Amino acid sequence: MSVTTTCVKRAFKYRFHPTDVQAAELSRTFGCVRKVYNLALAARTEAWARQERVNYNATSAMLTAWKKTGELAYLNEVSSVPLQQTLRHLQGAFTNFFAKRAKYPRFKSRKTSRKSAEYTTSGFRFRDGKLTLAKMDQPLHIVWSRPLPEGARPSTVTVSQDAAGRWFVSLLCDDPGVRPLAPTGAVVGIDVGLDHLLTLSTGEKITNPRHERADRARLAKAQRELSRKARGEGANRAKARRKAARIHARIADRRRDLLHKLTTRLVRENQTLVVEDLTVRNMVRNHTLARAISDASWSEFRSLLEYKAAWYGRDVVVVDRFFPSTRLCSNCGTLAQRMPLNVRIWTCEGCGATHDRDVNAARNLLAAGLAVTVCGAGVRPQRSTPGGQSAVKQKTPRREP
């Protein structure tokens, strides 16, 4: 395996506590960023209706003209760097749309859209471990929960505020510490579930902590209190909204922390990891299981697993969603006709072997992944599902150039 020596761009996210003046300045910046984005999107949409093309340079010229008008003169009060960056983000959104990687860009809402502003090197100063943004006299009071890489210099800084009122700053730096790990011959099949969050082909089962269920009573109470507040911009409703948002944030933080620990461990211990290609978007349409599936966060687990595998030189093999991993006997290959969800242990009619439902599925996934490894990267194996579709597809990790 070739070893790359280039640095990986990595974002380091920290909490910070702004002063009243800094909070007011950042709030104005968030509002201006949202306004410029919406104005530029409206201009590009109108131009598209006239069969005209408007690119980033054109919207940048529009921004200059908007600042000279009396109605939008307040745009001059904030740093110009985040305003230019939001135009670049809009350009990227249209690029993804035309490449059919995303839907048409949507307007940003003051209530529901993420509050954030991105600064490039001309919009901040980072010296002696202190970060000072443009239009500010004092550095941000950052809680350095972990050190930056030695000698790291941020290339971009993103400031954001979540629905719970917490402030975050994300510093994008080169991290020389991320490099491919020593190759290992270990391979593992991973079956995700609800009773157990993960079941490995080794027989190990990782308990599903069900973070949302643990805080469900507190969340329901907070949401009831919010529903009783008069709709509008009242202070009491805003306070109740933040209270509910803090509970949601607590659930999301614990869930993300667990997934990071699990994916890091799996990537470090195994060379090849085999997972199933699940359509979570369709699965959550089942209203009986939607809440539990969302709480398990299978999509985030796969996303974390894939980018960490790319970082550390591991391979992720994704098995086709129609591959009958649960109904297929891992001992003799006999296919059971049906397998209801309430059946956790079953006996194969062909060989008489007794299987744990989840462990058997993980072992079948591992076998499918090994078939890809034997056939070679990018080569589909001959084994196919009863419907004629290929059992697996190779998920080639993206290597840094």
pLDDT at 309: 94
Q: Note the pLDDT tens digit of each residue in 289-312.
A: 899 999 999 999 999 999 999 999
Q: Note the pLDDT tens digit of each residue in 147-175.
A: 998 888 999 999 999 999 999 999 999 98
Q: Note the pLDDT tens digit of each residue in 308-332.
A: 999 999 999 999 888 888 888 988 8
The type of residue at 279 is T
Say what the pTM is. 0.84
Residue 374 confidence class, pLDDT cut points 50, 70, 90: low
Rounded-to-integer distance, Cα 234 and Cα 239, Å: 9
pLDDT at 396: 39
Rounded-to-integer distance, Cα 308 and Cα 208, Å: 22
Out of 295, 306, 315, 358, which one is annotated catalytic?
358
Q: Note the pLDDT tens digit of each residue in 179-192.
A: 899 999 899 999 99
pLDDT at 384 over 70: no
Residue 373 confidence class, pLDDT cut points 50, 70, 90: low
Q: Locate tokens 């006299």: which residue?
A: 137
Chain center to CA of 289 = 22
Q: Are strands 345-347 and 272-276 parallel, antiparallel or unpaired?
A: unpaired
What are the Cα distances from residue 244, in Å, to 112, 144, 183, 219?
14, 27, 46, 6
pLDDT at 54 over 50: yes
Is residue 191 part of the annotated active site? The answer reads yes
pLDDT at 379: 35
Count H helices and E strands in the chain, helices first. Answer: 10, 15
Contact in structure between 324 and 386 (CB atoms under 8 Å)? yes
pLDDT at 6: 65
pLDDT at 36: 97
Measured between its terminal Cα atoms, the distance across the chain in Å is 15
pLDDT at 210: 93
Window from 10-14, 214-218, 394-398 with minimum mean pLDDT? 394-398
Per-residue pLDDT, averaged over 188-202, amounts to 93
Using CB atoms within 10 Å of the CB of residue 50, give its burial: 0 to 12 exposed, 13 to 18 middle, 19+ buried: exposed
Q: Locate tokens 């299987």: which residue?
A: 355
Tokens of 223: 């949401």
The DSSP code sequence of 18-36 is: --HHHHHHHHHHHHHHHHH
Rounded-to-integer distance, Cα 299 and Cα 305, Å: 10
Contact in structure between 59 and 40 (CB atoms under 8 Å)? yes
Share of the chain above pLDDT 90, in %: 68
- Closest among 61, 65, 44 to 53, alpha carbons compared: 44
Question: Three-class SS of residue 202?
Answer: coil
Out of 25, 212, 276, 306, which one is annotated catalytic?
276
Q: Note the pLDDT tens digit of each residue in 242-295.
A: 999 999 999 999 999 999 999 999 999 999 999 998 888 888 888 888 999 999
Is residue 137 part of the annotated active site? The answer reads no
Out of 25, 118, 191, 320, which one is annotated catalytic?
191
Window from 136-150, 250-264, 324-338, 380-394 with minimum mean pLDDT? 380-394
Rounded-to-integer distance, Cα 171 and Cα 155, Å: 7
CB count within 10 Å of CB 157 equals 22
pLDDT at 26 over 70: yes
pLDDT at 334: 85
Using CB atoms within 10 Å of the CB of residue 339, give its burial: 0 to 12 exposed, 13 to 18 middle, 19+ buried: middle
CB count within 10 Å of CB 220 equals 12
pLDDT at 119 over 70: yes
Using CB atoms within 10 Å of the CB of residue 263, give its burial: 0 to 12 exposed, 13 to 18 middle, 19+ buried: buried
Is residue 276 part of the annotated active site? The answer reads yes
Residue 400 confidence class, pLDDT cut points 50, 70, 90: very low
pLDDT at 208: 94
CB count within 10 Å of CB 343 equals 11
